[in-house]
Amino acid sequence: MPSTTSPSPQVRTLTQSLRRVVNGRAVQDAALLGLRLVGARGMSVVSLIVSVWLVDIQAFAEFGVYQTLAALAAMSLFLRYDTAIISAPSQEEAHDVLRLCAVLGGVLWLTYSILALGAGHFGFMSATLASLLPISLIVRGMVRLGFAQITRDGDFKGIGRGSLVQSVFQPLALLVLVLALRNDAVAFAISDILGHASAVVYLVWRRRGRAPVFRHGWSVRRLVELASRRRSLPLYNLPGTFCALAFVLSPLLILPLAGNHALAGHVALAYRLFDVPTQILAATMTPIFLHRLRPSEDRPNVLFGRRLLMILILPVGFAFGALAAALILADPYLAGTKLADLSDIVPAVAMFHLFLALGAPLNESCSLYPQQRRLVVIQAAALLGSGVAAFIALSGYAEGALAALALASAVRTFALGELLRKLSLLRDRLVSARNLAVPA
């Protein structure tokens, strides 16, 4: 009998890329991290259900505004230079990035604190919440820096345990504070601070053996050069991040424009249902992608390919498809409940969230590379697609608007995958050219 033919070069290349990005250890890390994040998200859902019975509904709206302001301010606190902690090619540069973040974060924190206290003084927001906002920014910023460092180290166990510590401590603090305080919004804000602070304490304890980077190694010249070399992060990545956030939230903002309040409510409910697996999958895959795709001087560059993206779509698509099918099949038995009549909008919402979950690690991985212009263009184009969906919704065609958003989400994810492929290939060529230029 003739011998079995050897695999083609394309198959070997795909296999090598798949083993580098998703090898046996990565699968085990992803599974353990996913289980911890499932537990963390489960605690969040339970705390939400419990708080609904104890808290005035108006407190949710008031705290929602506070939480949105805190999240946006924390996102821009380091001008996105914190992503360079992961992508720094050497540990020495990663320490310089951490010092740069400390300087920038201190200046912006002082600016945001003055603005928050001024807003509270002049009555634009609750004075108590305004006084808590600076504390929230400190702990949120420390969590961002801590998670960036352990992601660089590939400490996925630390990521999962840190999230789990916060998800356990925060709802317990909320329960105590709701019973002890009269102002429910303040109870939410303080428990949010305590939850993030518990994660900070755990991360500091976990990294207690590392040499402190703030005592030595300060160089104004190096920090200025680093900020200039990575200036694409505040110039392009930061606006792109805000565009991405606006696109993610666009269904909740656009569907009410159609005038069908019942349908808009169903979309909002389905959005929340699919947001849980989206957040879990994104939080599970993103650290692993960032750690394994980050440029490094001490290991070969990892390429991201089109076929690898298609392989990732299969299991994630099956999971979202199964959840959508379960909701559609259960629709006849949900008559008279809040989950009734979801079958018409579930496929589009599932598709929207499917590509959000896949796009999250791709988007963050693209942030590892200095070339950020095309990334912000992709985010702006997706936001333009949501503008088209808004125009469709204003015409009274809500289903068409939802379909347009799902299509925009798919196009955005494939564009991010293609950009990541080109950036990783460009990085590989630069490293190869550099190695050839070095004499043996």
7 or 90: which leads in pLDDT = 90
Is the pLDDT reported for residue 277 higher than 50? Answer: yes
Is the pLDDT reported for residue 39 higher than 80? Answer: no
Is the pLDDT reported for residue 348 higher than 70? Answer: yes
Position 2 scores a pLDDT of 45
The stretch 142-170 carries a mean pLDDT of 86
309 or 7: which leads in pLDDT = 309
Residues in the chain: 440
Least reliable range by pLDDT among 72-76, 173-177, 302-306: 302-306
Position 21 scores a pLDDT of 47
Query: What is the largest distance, in Å, between two alpha-carbon atoms of the chain?
Result: 87
Is the pLDDT reported for residue 260 higher than 80? Answer: no
Burial class (CB in 10 A: 0-12, 13-18, 19+), 91: middle
Is the pLDDT reported for residue 302 higher than 80? Answer: no
Least reliable range by pLDDT among 71-75, 243-247, 260-264, 401-405: 260-264
Position 350 scores a pLDDT of 94
339 or 215: which leads in pLDDT = 215
Say how far apart CA 158 and CA 123 lie, in whole Å.
Answer: 41
As a whole number of Å, the end-to-end CA separation of the chain is: 47
- CB within 8 A of 205, min separation 6: which ones? none
The stretch 318-324 carries a mean pLDDT of 91
Say how far apart CA 174 and CA 53 lie, in whole Å.
Answer: 13
pTM, full prediction: 0.78
Contact by Cβ (8 Å): 359, 309:
no
The stretch 131-159 carries a mean pLDDT of 91
Is the pLDDT reported for residue 12 higher than 80? Answer: no
Position 45 scores a pLDDT of 60
The stretch 95-122 carries a mean pLDDT of 94
Is the pLDDT reported for residue 372 higher than 60? Answer: yes
**Per-chain mean pLDDT for the chain:** 82
Least reliable range by pLDDT among 245-249, 323-327, 346-350, 422-426: 422-426
The stretch 272-300 carries a mean pLDDT of 77
Say how far apart CA 329 and CA 5 lie, in whole Å.
Answer: 46
The HSE-up count of residue 175 (CA atoms within 13 Å, CB side) is 13
Q: Copy the structure tokens of residue 428.
A: 């590989």
Which H or E element spans position 266?
A: helix 261-293
- Scanning 122-183, the segments in alpha helix (DSSP H) are 127-153, 156-180
Position 14 scores a pLDDT of 47
Percent of the chain with pLDDT over 70: 79
Least reliable range by pLDDT among 111-120, 151-160, 408-417: 151-160
Cα torsion 190, 270, 163, 200: sign = negative
Position 267 scores a pLDDT of 85
Taking only Cα atoms into account, the Rg of the chain, rounded to an integer number of angstroms, comes to 23
Nearest one of 143, 63, 68, 77 to 113, comparing CA atoms = 77
Q: Tell how far CA 72 is from the center of its chain.
A: 13
Least reliable range by pLDDT among 34-48, 219-233, 351-365: 34-48
Least reliable range by pLDDT among 12-21, 28-37, 146-155: 12-21
264 or 229: which leads in pLDDT = 229
Position 380 scores a pLDDT of 95
The stretch 409-430 carries a mean pLDDT of 87
Position 1 scores a pLDDT of 44
Position 439 scores a pLDDT of 47
Is the pLDDT reported for residue 297 higher than 70? Answer: no
Position 428 scores a pLDDT of 67
Nearest 10 degrees: Cα torsion 352, 357, 358, 360: 110
Contact by Cβ (8 Å): 75, 200:
no
Position 4 scores a pLDDT of 44
Is the pLDDT reported for residue 206 higher than 60? Answer: yes
Of the ranges 186-190, 213-217, 297-301, 385-389, the best mean pLDDT one: 385-389
